[in-house]
C-alpha cells in the first residue's frame, strides 16, 4: 500500500509510536527517544517511498534499508509489521527469550531486516558495499542507510562516507537522525558535531536538511535522487509525540513504566 496522503501517513506514524510504547513497556527495557523521533521517517519510507515487496522480502530488486543505529529497532519492527512483513502479534515478543525481535536487529531472524547492527558506526560501510554491488550489477534499486548524530562520533562512519564519494554512489541515501541527544547527554556536550552539513559537503556529498517530523517535507525529500551520494540531515525531536519524553536525553534508553505507558498512549491517541 503506497500513499502520499499526509493525513494517512500521520496516522500510520502515530500507530507506529503507539506500537513502540507498548513494545517497550512489555519488554521492560529499550530505547524510546530515537525510535519515537524516527517514526515519521519510517512511515514515509515504507508507506510511500520504498520500492519493496513485503510478501517477497528477498526480491533482488527491492530497495534496501540499512538501520545502522540498531538500538532504535522498535521503530523498524513496528513499521515492518505494519507494512505486512510479519504478523503484528510478534511485536509483543520484543527482547523476550526465543523471540525473533532481538534487542538489536539481526538479519537472519526477521524478514525485512537487511543487516545486523548494535555496535554503532558500521551501517554506512555495509550500505556502501550494497551500493557498490548494485553498481556492479547495473541494478536500479536504491540503498537507504539510517544513522544517528551520536554515530557520527565513530571513525568508521567517516571512512565509509569517504568511500561513497570516491565511487560516486548516487544509489545511496543516508538519513541522519539529528536529534541532538545521545546516551549520556546532549551531543553538543558529549561530542559536538559542529556543522554536519559542511562536513558532508567537504566529503563531496549532496546535502539536504529537513524537518524530520514534518511529513510533507519528508515526502518531498526522501525520494530525491542526485548524481552523487545524498545525505538527508533530519532534524528530529527525540521522543516526538510523547511530551514528557521530548528533547530529554534521559529517555535515550529506558522503558516507560505502567503509568508512563498509559499517559503516553493516551496522549498519542488524542493526536489521531
The entry of Mg ion, another protein, ligand TPP, none near residue 107 (CB within 5 to 8 angstroms by kind) is another protein
Question: DSSP states of 200-224 as a string?
Answer: HHHTT-EEEEEETT-HHHHHHHTT-
Q: Give the interface size with another protein as a residue count (CB under 8 A).
A: 34
| Residue 199 CB neighbour total at 10 angstroms | 16
Element (H, E) at 234: strand 230-235
Residues 6 or more apart whose CB falls under 8 angstroms from that of 97 comprise none
Burial of 158 (C-beta count, 10 Å sphere; 0-12/13-18/19+): middle
Q: Which does 252 bind (CB under 5 to 8 A by kind): another protein, Mg ion, ligand TPP, none?
A: ligand TPP
Residues in the site for Mg ion, rule: CB under 5 A? 148-150, 179, 181
| Paired sense of beta strands 206-211 and 143-148, if any | unpaired
Print the binding letters for residues 84-123 with another protein: x by CB under 8 A, - otherwise: ----------------------xxx-----xxxxxx-xxx
For 46, which DSSP code? I
Give the CA-trace dihedral at 30, 32, 38, 40, to 10 degrees: 120
Which of residues 27, 124, 230, 255 is near another protein by CB under 8 A?
A: 124
Binds another protein (CB under 8 A): choice among 127, 175, 215, 221: 127
Question: Which one, 54 or 150, has the nearer CB to ligand TPP?
Answer: 150
Radius of gyration of the chain (CA): 17
Is residue 260 within the footprint of another protein (CB under 8 A)? no
201 binds, among Mg ion, ligand TPP, another protein, none (CB under 5 to 8 A by kind): none
Q: Which is nearer to ligand TPP, 134 or 231 (CB)?
A: 231
CB nearer to Mg ion: give 173 or 179: 179
Question: Of another protein, ligand TPP, Mg ion, none, which one sits near residue 129, judging by CB under 5 to 8 A according to partner kind?
Answer: another protein
Would you report the helix, strand and coil content of the chain in percent, each value rounded to 5?
45, 10, 40
Q: Is residue 174 part of the contact set for ligand TPP (CB under 6 A)?
A: no
Choose the one of ligand TPP, Mg ion, another protein, none that binds residue 213, judging by a C-beta under 5 to 8 angstroms depending on kind.
none
Among the listed residues 77, 20, 90, the one whose alpha carbon sits nearest the alpha carbon of residue 46:
77
Cα 44–Cα 264–Cα 236 angle in degrees, nearest 5 = 40
**Which residues make Cβ contacts (< 8 Å) with residue 105, sequence separation at least 6?**
67, 70, 73, 76, 113, 115, 116, 117, 118
Total of residues contacting ligand TPP (CB under 6 A): 20
Q: Which residues contact another protein (rule: CB under 8 A)? A: 60, 66, 106-108, 114-119, 121-134, 136-137, 155-156, 159-160, 162-163, 167
Q: Which residues contact ligand TPP (rule: CB under 6 A)? A: 31, 33-34, 69, 71-72, 118-121, 148-151, 179, 181-183, 238, 252
Amino acid at each position: 500500500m503506497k500513499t502520499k496522503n499526509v493525513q494517512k501517513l500521520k496516522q500510520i506514524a502515530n500507530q507506529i509510536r503507539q506500537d513502540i510504547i507498548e513494545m517497550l513497556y512489555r519488554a521492560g527495557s529499550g530505547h524510546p527517544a530515537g525510535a519515537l523521533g524516527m517514526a515519521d521517517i519510517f512511515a514515509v519510507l515504507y508507506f510511500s517511498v520504498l520500492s519493496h515487496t513485503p510478501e517477497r522480502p528477498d526480491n533482488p530488486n527491492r530497495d534496501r534499508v540499512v538501520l545502522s543505529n540498531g538500538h532504535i529497532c522498535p521503530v523498524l519492527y513496528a513499521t515492518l509489521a505494519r507494512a505486512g512483513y510479519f504478523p503484528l502479534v510478534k511485536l509483543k515478543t520484543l527482547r523476550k527469550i526465543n523471540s525473533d525481535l532481538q534487542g538489536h536487529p539481526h538479519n537472519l531472524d526477521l524478514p525485512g531486516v537487511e543487516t545486523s547492527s548494535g555496535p554503532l558506526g558500521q551501517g554506512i560501510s555495509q550500505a556502501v558495499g550494497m551500493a557498490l554491488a548494485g553498481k556492479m550489477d547495473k541494478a536500479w534499486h536504491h540503498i537507504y542507510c539510517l544513522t544517528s548524530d551520536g554515530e557520527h562520533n565513530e571513525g568508521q562512519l567517516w571512512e565509509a562516507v569517504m568511500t561513497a564519494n570516491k565511487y560516486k554512489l548516487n544509489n545511496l541515501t543516508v538519513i541522519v537522525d539529528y536529534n541532538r541527544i545521545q546516551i549520556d547527554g546532549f551531543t553538543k556536550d558529549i561530542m559536538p558535531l559542529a556543522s554536519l552539513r559542511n562536513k558532508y559537503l567537504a566529503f563531496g556529498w549532496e546535502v539536504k536538511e529537513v524537518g524530520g517530523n514534518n511529513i510533507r517535507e519528508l515526502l518531498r525529500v526522501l525520494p530525491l535522487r542526485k548524481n552523487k551520494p545524498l545525505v538527508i540531515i533530519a532534524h528530529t525531536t527525540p521522543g516526538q509525540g510523547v511530551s514528557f519524553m521530548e528533547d530529554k536525553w534521559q529517555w535515550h534508553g529506558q522503558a516507560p513504566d505502567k503509568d508512563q505507558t498509559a499517559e503516553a498512549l493516551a496522549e498519542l491517541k488524542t493526536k489521531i
